[in-house]
Structure 1
Amino acid sequence: MDCIKPPPSSESTRSKISKTFSKCIHPQTPSRFPPNPKLRTLSEELNISLKDFKSEPKLTRTKSQKSNSGDHLQQEQISKNKAAKEALLAKLFASLSSIKAAYAELQSAQFPYNNDAIQSADEALVSELTVLSELKQKYFNKSLDLPPPHVTQLLAEIQEQQSNIKTYEITMKQMEWKMEQKDSEMASLRKKLEETTKINKSLEKRLNSSGALFPLGNQISINDLNQCQFFRVLHFSIRSLRHFVKQVVREMEAKNWDMDLAAKAIEPNTVFAKPKHKIFALESYVSQVMFDGFNHHNFFLPDEGTKQPLKNVFFQNFQKLQSLTPSQIFSQNPRNPFAKFCKGKYLKLMHPKMECSFFGNLDQRKVVSSGAFSSTEFFSLFAEMARRIWLLHCLAFSFDPPAVAFQVRRNCRFSEVYMESVAPEDDVISGDVTASFTVIPGFKIGKTVVQSVVYLSSAKNR
């Protein structure tokens, strides 16, 4: 017999429905089956979406980092290109320096000519031009396969310095070679100058000492004498005096004499317009000593009588002595009046200290003091000057009345009738000028006046 089950109540019915609905919403997976990864609940989907949304700023920062990294790489590339170009320029300038050195070597090998050096320099020049052409092609093709830029620049700098040093060495060798040529030319010219100087001295000595070159011949008579002949003899005497003064100046300069002090000692109150005018003071000193006593018939010689000889005797002495040299006059008659005149003027003109400074001793002074003729060049020049002045004195007393010498007083106003400036025309002082001192005395022959040679100075300096 079947049992009759009671009908379910309403509460039990509702509980069953709710369990069934909850199962539908939250299905339970049996534990014996693994979970399917493809199946995701809504909450999981929401969680993933939320995570994706929260992680989006991180994705943005990653893109920014990638962008900055790209810019950094671009800057590095620009820097590399710049360094490569700088290295290329450095290598270019180094090549140019090498070309310059090779060209300098090529030029140097041609003067003097050296075939081996020319070939070597030509090969080096071609090699450097080839390197330069390769650099040009690399630059145009943008294939700068050079070593690291800093290494290239360092090597280029070393190459450039070596080329510069080589160029300087070549230039120095060329200058040394030119200096050797100049030294050789100077030695040759110095030798020619010495030979020319010897010839000039020989000619000058012959001109000053040879009687044949004296302006008056032996054929002239006393009745034919005139002022022009006196002028000619005076000109030769003055030229010999100036030649001797130049020799004295050369001796002073060789012994380091102070020409300023020497000129000041002779003419202490004179202001010279130019330094070269100081030689006129020394010329004045020699002239004063040599012409002192000119107006006296025996030139103030000692042990001579006061009786004045006839003018014919003076003219005969003039004719006799004009064809003889001073050494011949001394050798023929050491007691000749000219020998006494020459001895007295030398001892008066040459101070012992001056003579000792010039020659280092007084041997020449001792020879002259004994009445002998010294064979030195210096005394020969002095003796020739003395001979010409002695002959001028003999000729002056051959006139009737005799020619007389005169000097201009200091600070006397300049007069063209009685004076002539010793300085060149360009050095003559303009304006009111006076005679500072007499360089060469003037002469009066009857009514004819030979101008005195004076040194002029401004009247303001009086």
Structure 2
Amino acid sequence: METIGTKSVTKGRSNNKLSKTIQKVTSLKFASNNALFFLTTHETKAHHHQAKNKNEESKARTRRRAVMEALIARLFAGVTTIKASYAELQMAQQPYNNEAIQKADQAVVDELISISELKKRFLKKELNISSPQVTLMLAEVQEQQSLMKTFGITIQNLQSLVDTKDSEISSLKKQLHEYTAFNKSLEKKLHSSGSLSKFESLHLSALNTTHFIHFLQHTLSSMKSFTKLMIKEMESSNWDLELAAKCIQPDAVFIKQSHRCYAFESFVNMTMFEGFNVPSEPLQKHHNRNLYLENFKRHKSLNTKHYLSAHDPNSSFARFLKSKYLQVVHEKMECSFFGNLNHRKLLKLNNGGVPDSAFFVAFAEMAKRVWCLDCLALSLDEDVRIFQVKKNTRFSEAYMECEAEKVVSTSSEEVTDSDSGELRVGFTVVPGFMIGKSVIQSQVYLSPVS
């Protein structure tokens, strides 16, 4: 019994020791786990706090940058506003506008004060910009408005400059037109009243375009005089001048009734100048310039009636005169003027007989000058070409001049409101001439622009 009791006590003690050992091991393990848990939690909190600080710093930098961008935009907008206000100030100087000047001046001052306040807040780091994005957008709007105002003022200045230049151009054109008309009147007076004595001692080597122009004016003067006499005879014979003018220029529109005379002038001039600068038959094979010049000198001052009576009726000049008379003066016209056809009959006889009416004398003088002008043209070293302007051709001052000044002014006013913007030729009154590179303008009648 004693042996059994000892073993039981020994076994109980062993169990107690094992339990304590297990308890100690368990306690140590639990303590280690708690320490590790507490260490991990502390590191996580520190890392989270550090990330939060970095995020706040990034946001702060972004905001500072946005504030600076808004500040710079506001500054540029202010400068643009000052520029626009200064432009308004200059614009108000001429013409002088006191109210506009004061308004623009105050706008400049207000903007300078605003920029100055902005500078103070920036230096003191007291910029109070709650929403940089809104400030930036407002600054852009202000800048665009100022730019639009500046561009508007620039457009006004340019338009004013254009108006001034247009006014100057109109004034200069008017002066040029007046001076040109005055010079032409002086030239016509000079040529019509000038003496032909300068041609007496004229040599071939000294002959030039100026001599041709001088004698051309002398010739045109006689052609105009004959046309007036022809119209007078028509009126005396109860002709319908309007119908007669329409027969010559069917589509012509005349500003005034008195302008119908240009249709008759056109008919006479074109008929008389037909075949101009074509050598006559006796001289055609031997085109001698000096011979043509001598013919010109010999005939230019002769009495046509006496010359025809005393010289060969088949001479070059006599044949020219007869041919042109039959072309210009129709049978019905001659019969209407004189009641018979004696002028034609006398010329066709070729016996030296010459009609003695004032009408024929005027025609003969005109024919003589045209024939002499032709001789003078054939005497020139340079080729002389005659030209006329076609109907509806655009008016060009380089090659044309208007026969009726009234037509130019009236047509110009109508052209201003028209789409074409061009003056058009109704018909040629006097043909033009080209001598080498020189141009003697054709005289035209301009039809009104519809």
TM superposition score category, shorter chain reference? 0.5 to 0.7
Aligned to 2:381: 400
Once the two structures are TM-superposed, the CA of residue 262 in structure 1 deviates from its matched residue by 0.4
Q: Taking structure 1 as reference, are residues 251 and 215 closer, same or farther at Cα in structure 2, changes over 3 Å only?
A: farther
Give yes or no for the alignment of 1:361 onto 2:348: no
Q: Secondary structure at the match of 1:338?
A: helix
The CA distance in 2 between the partners of 1:325 and 1:284, in whole Å, is 26
- 1:448 alignment partner, one of 435, 438, 442: 438
Once the two structures are TM-superposed, the CA of residue 306 in structure 1 deviates from its matched residue by 4.6
Q: Secondary structure at the match of 1:412?
A: coil
Q: Which runs of 4+ in 1 moved over 6 A?
A: none
Q: Taking structure 1 as reference, are residues 306 and 399 closer, same or farther at Cα in structure 2, changes over 3 Å only?
A: closer
The CA distance in 2 between the partners of 1:408 and 1:215, in whole Å, is 34
The CA distance in 2 between the partners of 1:457 and 1:324, in whole Å, is 40
Counterpart AA for 1:263:
A
The CA distance in 2 between the partners of 1:253 and 1:358, in whole Å, is 10
- 2:395 alignment partner, one of 400, 406, 414: 414
Aligned to 2:323: 344
Greater shift, 336-345 or 213-222, is seen at: 213-222
The CA distance in 2 between the partners of 1:415 and 1:342, in whole Å, is 34
Does the CA contact (< 8 Å) of 2:428 and 2:445 recur in 1? yes
Q: Secondary structure at the match of 2:379?
A: coil
Q: Secondary structure at the match of 1:435?
A: strand
Counterpart AA for 1:291:
F
The number of aligned residues is 248
Once the two structures are TM-superposed, the CA of residue 402 in structure 1 deviates from its matched residue by 2.8
- 1:286 alignment partner, one of 260, 268, 273: 268
The CA distance in 2 between the partners of 1:215 and 1:284, in whole Å, is 30
Give yes or no for the alignment of 1:329 onto 2:307: yes
The CA distance in 2 between the partners of 1:409 and 1:426, in whole Å, is 18
Once the two structures are TM-superposed, the CA of residue 267 in structure 1 deviates from its matched residue by 0.3
- What are the within-5 Å matches in structure 2 for residues 212-361 of structure 1? 213-214=195-196, 216-298=198-280, 306-330=284-308, 331-361=310-340
Q: Secondary structure at the match of 2:210?
A: helix
Normalising by structure 1, report the TM-score.
0.51
Superposed CA deviations along residues 157-201 of structure 1, whole A, max 9, x for unmatched, are: xxxxxxxxxxxxxxxxxxxxxxxxxxxxxxxxxxxxxxxxxxxxx
Once the two structures are TM-superposed, the CA of residue 356 in structure 1 deviates from its matched residue by 0.3
Q: Taking structure 1 as reference, are residues 246 and 347 closer, same or farther at Cα in structure 2, changes over 3 Å only?
A: same
The CA distance in 2 between the partners of 1:284 and 1:216, in whole Å, is 30
Aligned to 1:168: none
The CA distance in 1 between the partners of 2:285 and 2:259, in whole Å, is 42
Does the CA contact (< 8 Å) of 1:396 and 1:404 recur in 2? no
**Structure 1 stretches lacking a partner, 5+ long:** 1-206
Once the two structures are TM-superposed, the CA of residue 426 in structure 1 deviates from its matched residue by 6.8
The CA distance in 1 between the partners of 2:359 and 2:197, in whole Å, is 24
Q: Taking structure 1 as reference, are residues 215 and 406 closer, same or farther at Cα in structure 2, changes over 3 Å only?
A: farther
Counterpart AA for 1:353:
K
Once the two structures are TM-superposed, the CA of residue 459 in structure 1 deviates from its matched residue by 4.3
The CA distance in 2 between the partners of 1:248 and 1:260, in whole Å, is 15
Does the CA contact (< 8 Å) of 1:215 and 1:232 recur in 2? no
Normalising by structure 2, report the TM-score.
0.53
Give yes or no for the alignment of 1:386 onto 2:357: no
Once the two structures are TM-superposed, the CA of residue 328 in structure 1 deviates from its matched residue by 3.0
The CA distance in 2 between the partners of 1:264 and 1:426, in whole Å, is 18
The CA distance in 1 between the partners of 2:284 and 2:210, in whole Å, is 30
Greater shift, 238-247 or 321-330, is seen at: 321-330
The CA distance in 1 between the partners of 2:198 and 2:361, in whole Å, is 22
Does the CA contact (< 8 Å) of 2:253 and 2:448 recur in 1? no
Q: Secondary structure at the match of 1:415?
A: coil
Counterpart AA for 2:397:
E
Superposed CA RMSD: 2.1
Once the two structures are TM-superposed, the CA of residue 436 in structure 1 deviates from its matched residue by 1.1
Superposed CA deviations along residues 294-323 of structure 1, whole A, max 9, x for unmatched, are: 03122xxxx657525211111111111113
Superposed CA deviations along residues 31-86 of structure 1, whole A, max 9, x for unmatched, are: xxxxxxxxxxxxxxxxxxxxxxxxxxxxxxxxxxxxxxxxxxxxxxxxxxxxxxxx
Does the CA contact (< 8 Å) of 1:433 and 1:459 recur in 2? yes
Q: Taking structure 1 as reference, are residues 411 and 308 closer, same or farther at Cα in structure 2, changes over 3 Å only?
A: farther
Aligned to 1:124: none
Q: Taking structure 1 as reference, are residues 351 and 244 closer, same or farther at Cα in structure 2, changes over 3 Å only?
A: same
Does the CA contact (< 8 Å) of 2:407 and 2:447 recur in 1? no
- What are the within-5 Å matches in structure 2 for residues 155-174 of structure 1? none
**Structure 2 stretches lacking a partner, 5+ long:** 1-190, 416-421
Question: Share of identical aligned residues, percent?
Answer: 42
Give the structure with the larger helix fraction: 2
Does the CA contact (< 8 Å) of 2:272 and 2:370 recur in 1? yes
The CA distance in 1 between the partners of 2:208 and 2:365, in whole Å, is 24
Q: Secondary structure at the match of 2:225?
A: helix
Give yes or no for the alignment of 1:376 onto 2:357: yes
Once the two structures are TM-superposed, the CA of residue 375 in structure 1 deviates from its matched residue by 1.5
Superposed CA deviations along residues 390-423 of structure 1, whole A, max 9, x for unmatched, are: 1110001111223221111111100001001010
Q: Secondary structure at the match of 1:273?
A: coil
Counterpart AA for 1:367:
L
The CA distance in 1 between the partners of 2:324 and 2:345, in whole Å, is 14
The CA distance in 2 between the partners of 1:213 and 1:305, in whole Å, is 29
Q: Secondary structure at the match of 1:420?
A: strand
